[in-house]
Amino acid sequence: MSITKFDNLIDGRDVITRIEQLQDMYQIHITAGKTDLFEYDTELNALLALAADASEICSNWEYGETLIRFDYFTEYIKDLLSDFDFIYNLPGYIIVDWEQTAEIMLPDYSIVTFYDVDYLVSNC
């Protein structure tokens, strides 16, 4: 499993799992005497920084809080609200302005940065 800056959604549980995997792989390589650990260092440091930033915003984010790529937020809000039946039951002549709806909901989220890409996490 990898987590990249191209992911629209990142589950906090996946971040913790990946950190643990990288720490285990790092330890195995150290024990084997390998010193070229740049690949692990870069990803691990980025994920640890993401975890620290997200923890400051939402203390229980690692239990399944979703991190939403900033430029995907409108689509996320559309999908989130579409899960409720009342959105499906609206008459066809009613048009929802999803961008404005997302803007209205934005203050409920804070920004964390992962590989120079902004993600939003709920202000739990």
Token pair 């990946």 is at which residue? 18
What is the residue extent of each domain of the chain?
A: 9-122
**Which amino acid does the sequence have at 65?**
E
Whole-number pLDDT of residue 17: 95
* pLDDT tens by residue, 1-51: 789 999 999 999 999 999 999 998 878 777 777 766 666 788 899 999 999
Let me know: does 57 contact 98? Beta carbons within 8 Å.
no
Cα 69 from Cα 62, distance rounded (Å): 17
Cα 123 from Cα 24, distance rounded (Å): 31
Q: If DSSP codes are grouped into helix, strand and coil, which group holds residue 118?
A: strand
Average pLDDT across the chain, whole number: 88
Q: If DSSP codes are grouped into helix, strand and coil, which group holds residue 73?
A: helix
Cα 12 from Cα 34, distance rounded (Å): 30
Whole-number pLDDT of residue 27: 81
